[in-house]
Structure 1
């Protein structure tokens, strides 16, 4: 079953360097096995806030991605450019 991850990021500053780190990090995420899609939503009222919407094939694929991010090879520089991050994971739905 697929799952959705929402990653809310508040940047310290919106600079070309910060955008370069975002693009690099998110390109790696999008290319990771099991990632079905990735979209970045920019806040209309605050240019330093954004939400990354990730769709993963399975929770196992996302867990493998998280494990990889904990390794030296997978470490990202998002912590260098963000003042706040909030990750929310949705793997269950409500039937209507």
Structure 2
């Protein structure tokens, strides 16, 4: 079953000049992970420090393997350098059929 992951980030206002570079570096590895089908970063129109990384995964298991890798020394990233608060991750893998 496919999974959509929202990673909500609150960026440090003093790090906005570095945010794109750190996100690109971090998300390049995410995009290369087996099972990742794409991602994008969306920015809140009312608050440029509030962004959401929207990730598409072939399965929740693929995302879980990726998340586990991020806890290893090989998976460490610099995201913490640009954050004002811990990230919030939400995984969506169930759908409601609407019959539209």
TM-score range, shorter chain: over 0.9
1:29 aligned partner: 30
**Partner SS, residue 5 of structure 1:** strand
Q: Is the 8 A contact 2:16 2:82 kept in 1?
A: no
Q: Distance in 1 between matches of 2:20 and 2:36?
A: 21
How far off is 1:22 after superposition?
1.0
> What root-mean-square deviation, in Å, do the aligned CA atoms of Structure 1 and Structure 2 show?
1.1
* Structure 2 residue 70 is matched with structure 1 residue 76: no
* Structure 2 residue 11 is matched with structure 1 residue 11: yes
**Partner SS, residue 92 of structure 1:** coil
When normalised by structure 1's length, the TM-score is 0.92
1:90 aligned partner: 92
How far off is 1:5 after superposition?
0.2
**Partner SS, residue 39 of structure 1:** strand
1:58 aligned partner: 59
Q: Distance in 1 between matches of 2:89 and 2:63?
A: 13
How far off is 1:59 after superposition?
1.2
Question: Which of the pair is proportionally richer in helix?
Answer: 2
When normalised by structure 2's length, the TM-score is 0.89
Structure 1, 44-53 or 76-85: larger mean CA deviation: 76-85
